[in-house]
Amino acid sequence: DADVTQTPRNRITKTGKRIMLECSQTKGHDRMYWYRQDPGLGLRLIYYSFDVKDINKGEISDGYSVSRQAQAKFSLSLESAIPNQTALYFCATSDRNRDPYEQYFGPGTRLTVT
Amino acid sequence: AQSVAQPEDQVNVAEGNPLTVKCTYSVSGNPYLFWYVQYPNRGLQFLLKYITGDNLVKGSYGFEAEFNKSQTSFHLKKPSALVSDSALYFCAAHFQKLVFGTGTRLLVSP
- B104 and B76 in contact (C-beta within 8 Å)? no
Interface test with B, best of A5, A90, A101 (most B CBs within 10 A): A101
The per-residue pLDDT of chain A, averaged, comes to 93
CB pair distance less than 8 Å for B42 and A102 = no
CB pair distance less than 8 Å for A107 and B32 = no
pLDDT at A1 over 70: no
Residue type, A53: K
The residue ranges of chain B whose pLDDT is under 50 are none
Quote the minimal CA–CA distance from B108 to chain A in Å: 20
Quote the minimal CA–CA distance from A45 to chain B in Å: 8
Q: What is the pLDDT of residues A49-103, one digit of tens each?
A: 999 999 999 989 999 999 999 999 999 999 999 999 999 999 999 998 877 678 9
pLDDT at A11 over 60: yes
pLDDT at A6 over 70: yes
CB pair distance less than 8 Å for B42 and A106 = no
3-state secondary structure of B55: coil
A·B CB contacts under 8 A: 48
Question: Sign of the C-alpha dihedral, residues A101, A106, A107, A111?
Answer: negative
- A102 and A112 in contact (C-beta within 8 Å)? no
Number of Cβ atoms within 10 Å of the Cβ of A44? 16
CB pair distance less than 8 Å for A107 and B43 = yes
Which value, to the nearest 10 degrees, does the dihedral of the CA atoms of residues B102, A113, B40, B63 take? 20
Residue B84, phi then psi, degrees to nearest 5: -70, -10
CA–CA separation, B42 and B65 (whole Å):
23
Query: Which residue from A54, A50, A56, A57 is spatially nearest to A30, judged by alpha carbons?
Result: A50
Q: Percent of chain B scored above 70 by pLDDT?
A: 99
Query: Which residue from A76, A81, A85 is spatially nearest to A106, judged by alpha carbons?
Result: A76
CA–CA separation, B82 and B98 (whole Å):
29
Residues of A in contact with B46 (CB under 8 A): 102-104
Q: Please report which confidence band the pLDDT of residue A106 belongs to, taking 50, 70 and 90 as the band edges.
A: very high
